[in-house]
Amino acid sequence: MGAPPPAPAKTLKVLLYSDDAQVRESLRLALGTRPDPDLPALALEEFATAAALIERMDASVKGVRADLLILDGEAVPVGGMGLARQLKDEIYQCPPLLVLTGRAQDGWLATWARADAVVAHPIDPVRLAEVAVGLLRPRVG
Tell me how crowded residue 134 is: count the other CB atoms within 10 A of its CB.
14
Average pLDDT, the chain: 91
Instruction: For 123-136, write each residue's pLDDT tens digit.
Output: 999 999 999 999 99
pLDDT score of 116: 97
pLDDT score of 32: 96
Instruction: For 63-79, write each residue's pLDDT tens digit.
Output: 778 999 999 999 999 99
- The fold of the 12-139 domain, in CATH, is Rossmann fold (3.40.50)
- Angle of helix 125-136 relative to helix 21-31, nearest 10 degrees, comes to 70
pLDDT score of 54: 95
pLDDT score of 5: 41
Is residue 79 helix, strand or coil? coil
The radius of gyration computed from the CA coordinates of the chain, to the nearest angstrom, equals: 15
Domains of the chain: which residue ranges?
Answer: 12-139
What are the residues facing 99 on neighbouring strands?
71, 118
> In the chain, which stretches have pLDDT less than 70?
1-9, 61
